[in-house]
Amino acid sequence: MTAPTSTIDDATLNVGGDPTETMKSEHPQHDNQPLLNEAIHSQFIKLALPIIIALLVNGLYSFVDAIFITRAVGTEAMASVSAVFPIYMLIISISAMLGSGMASIISRTLGKKNNDHATDVFSASLFFAVIVGIVGTIVMLFFQQDLYHLLSLPQTLLKDATDYLTPILTVTVFSFVSGTLTECFRASGKAQDMMKVLLFSSFINIILDALFILGFNWGVSGASWATVLAIISSLVLAIHLQVNDSTKVKFSLEKCRFNWSIHKRVLALGVPILLSHSGFAFSLAVTIYSITQYSTEASILISAHGLLIRSFMLLFLPLLGMMIALQTLAGYNYGAGKFIRVKKSLYTAIGFSTGWAVIVTLILVVKPHWLLQLFTDDQALINAASDISNIVFLGFVFSGISMMCSGLFQAMGKALPAILLDSIRTYIILLPAIVYLPSQFGVIGIWWAFPLADYSGVIITVLFTTWYLRQKLPSSTT
């Protein structure tokens, strides 16, 4: 792996020559900027806590969805929803790519106090999110049945799968726009506004889940429409906050147009997040496919795997919140040329994230039934999920390290290293292992693919990141 000496960067932040020298010579005074001057630990916590709280509450809707569906509708319905969850995750992946790529540019631009350019990027990104959302809706709906066939879904799951997925696909554009707005909030240091939107969305979703599934007895359709209405509601609130709140990044109707010079940078910087999120979606899809090929009990294993994924996603969210906080903190300081603070931001994020990863590993490997009993009283389903969890999450303890290192490269605008680190773990190690190992060892081979990828990936990530920080980031600035 060679050093990325000329990765795809924001042109306004890297105008030829050594990018670090450009930043050191151009950035203005930042005496009144807490992100650039106050203690790293305190700033990291101030950024991370509201984001983590918001993500956890927002993530509850997926967790509660699974509880309502499994207990009120049945195990077969949960299998149907789990079977199409990779498609839903693919939509989230594209939205995250657009929002995070934009946020990376905005954070570094604000670090240089170039507010006008931040407004240009935000306005053009909103336009792009609308276009991509509309195209995504059309493509997904048109190829919906082909996607089912690709996943080899059992015929018994198709009706509920369609009832769940179709309404969500129709509001893809609203989801993309809402994601872009919330990413702008966090990129400009307004984590509380991001928290408000996510909390509101989760509250609406949980209330409507209970009403539609338990009250109206709508089954999986109720869960889907609860999600749809929550997406629309959160978008309305995000627009309200953006229009009425004082912020460094304003929406400009004049700049809300196609701008390829901005879009290509957003896409380039968002690709690592796309690879990470879509890698998760693809791993779910390949896992479901392998289960259908190598197991005679596909429905119960798909359902068990689905319950674990919902539990995992909730416990995983604090790590995501920490990575978002790291990207904002490191992006600001990198834009200001404060490279020692960039390194300290990474070390702080690794420390906190590893502590949480240890706790999650103990829960999911040693006592997974504590969570699983919330979903169902079916002991066969609980046992199947526990057997999977005991193996799959053996390597999760190192996930914080891998995530924070990859997140740092994106925060610095170094797209290529972030892309390579995410790709190696997921696309080069994990996905081939999920396909190959069960052919040799049966269904259990699927589960061993995950710790194998986790251990291999973290070794590569640590070696490369250590080398990069020593060779490419100066140690002479504060």
Burial 224-246 (b: 16+ CB within 10 A, else e): bbbbbbbbebbbebbeebbeeee
Check residue 113 and give its pLDDT: 81
Instruction: Find out whether 291 and 298 touch, Cβ atoms under 8 Å.
Output: yes
Check residue 304 and give its pLDDT: 93
Angle between helices 298-335 and 260-294 (to 10 degrees): 160
Instruction: Find out whether 48 and 323 touch, Cβ atoms under 8 Å.
Output: no
Q: What is the pLDDT of residues 371-395, one digit of tens each?
A: 899 898 899 999 999 999 999 999 9
Total number of domains constituting the chain: 1
Q: Which residue has the tokens 């251990």?
A: 455
Q: Is residue 346 part of a domain?
A: yes
> Cβ atoms within 10 A of the Cβ of 93, count?
21
Check residue 134 and give its pLDDT: 96
Check residue 475 and give its pLDDT: 60
Task: Name the residue range of residue 407's domain.
Answer: 42-472
Cα angle 326, 427, 271 (rounded to 5 degrees) comes to 45
Q: How far is CA 64 from CA 25, 68, 201, 314, 438, in A?
A: 52, 6, 13, 10, 32
DSSP SS3 for 258: coil
Q: Is residue 14 part of a domain?
A: no
Instruction: Find out whether 405 and 416 touch, Cβ atoms under 8 Å.
Output: no
User: Per residue of the chain (478 residues), what is the pLDDT tens digit?
Assistant: 333 333 333 333 332 333 333 334 344 444 457 878 788 999 999 989 988 987 888 788 788 888 899 999 988 898 899 888 899 888 988 998 999 899 889 988 887 888 888 899 999 999 999 999 999 999 999 999 998 888 888 888 899 999 999 999 999 999 999 999 999 988 887 878 888 898 899 899 999 999 999 999 999 999 999 999 999 999 999 999 988 866 678 888 888 999 999 999 999 888 877 877 788 889 999 999 999 999 888 889 999 999 999 899 899 999 999 998 998 899 888 888 888 899 999 999 999 999 999 999 999 999 999 889 989 889 999 999 999 999 999 999 999 999 999 889 878 878 788 778 878 888 999 999 999 999 999 999 999 999 999 999 999 999 999 998 888 776 655 5
Instruction: Find out whether 355 and 70 touch, Cβ atoms under 8 Å.
Output: no
Check residue 435 and give its pLDDT: 94
Check residue 32 and give its pLDDT: 57
Q: How far is CA 62 from CA 31, 54, 58, 201, 436, in A?
A: 42, 14, 8, 12, 31
Check residue 114 and give its pLDDT: 83
- Of how many residues is the chain composed? 478
Going by C-alpha positions, the residue among 57, 131, 80, 91 that lies closest to residue 306 is: 80
Q: Is residue 467 part of a domain?
A: yes
Q: Is residue 16 part of a domain?
A: no
Q: Is residue 4 part of a domain?
A: no
Exposure of 434 in the CB half-sphere (CA atoms within 13 A): 25
